[in-house]
Structures are given as C-alpha cells and as structure tokens.
Structure 1
C-alpha cells in the first residue's frame, strides 16, 4: 500500500513497464527499482482504483479515460487477465464496454 501511496506518478508512470526503471517516492524523493511482483501489484491497484472512479463518474471517464486506457495498455503485461478485461470494459470504446 505504501508503494501505491508514495508513487510520484509523473516520474514513475512513464517507465513503470521498464523492468530496470527507477520508481520515485514522492514523500522522500528517493528512487529504487521495484521488483516485478511490486510492479504487478502496483499496476493492479492502480487499475482497480482508477476503474472504480471511472465506473461511476462519466465526467472523469470522459476526461481521463483515453489517457488511462493508454497507460493500462502499456502496462498490460503487468496486469492480470481480469484487470485487463476490466480496463477494456470500463475505458474501451462504447461497443466494447459492458
């Protein structure tokens, strides 16, 4: 949970799919290279939290849906099949959504 809360998203999101990329802690400013399990857990939690908002807030989905779908598409190798399915169901084109 700390990893999710401490993420400097501006610094970390662009390279989260890169196994050797540094992750920046927004509280301490320190960087470290997360393990594959840490990156997978982070991606899953990120998708779950953003999708919870997108499901109930059409304005959020309209404003951020495209960016989030692009992010989660890039992070797809880190996501479980169920999480990826939810991403496309909530953020995909209307004919794909459930």
Structure 2
C-alpha cells in the first residue's frame, strides 16, 4: 500500500490535491492511503509512516523548505519518504 501525506494550511487546496492524487492512484490501480496535515510540525512527528509527502512551501510557523530539511536530516540515508513541493505562488 502506498502511504501518502498532504501537508498544507489551505484546506481547499488540500482537498483539491487529494482528489487529483486519488484519481491518479485509482487510474493506476494502486492501493493507497492519504492523510492530511495542516502544518509542518505534525508531519515531523509522523514522516516515517509515508512513502510520499506533498509539502506546501509556504506555511506559518515552519515552512515547507525547513520541514523538508528536517525530514531529510531525520531520515538520514533512508530513501523514503520522497518529498514533492507544492505551492500556489508562481514565483516559488
């Protein structure tokens, strides 16, 4: 089973992204589970449960860049989770 996390503080974007991920996984006949988080601190406590993390770049408290850096430090040489940055800002 593919375990996916979506981390974003904008609930409308989270739901939209989950719908898109679901459509792709279903088209590929993948067994999957998607969890959602509204901030980077929560995913830091749970990152090791996931194969793939969709991470918003701009969030309050701890942004996606700092969150990913910390995840990469914590996971050391482990290959997963893979991180995909998402943002609604064209300049990022």
User: Relative to total residues, which structure has the larger helix share, 1 or 2?
Assistant: 1
TM-score by length of 2: 0.32
**Structure of greater relative contact order (alpha carbons < 8 Å, 6+ residues apart):** 2
Is the radius of gyration larger for structure 1 or structure 2? 1
User: Relative to total residues, which structure has the larger strand share, 1 or 2?
Assistant: 2
TM-score by length of 1: 0.31
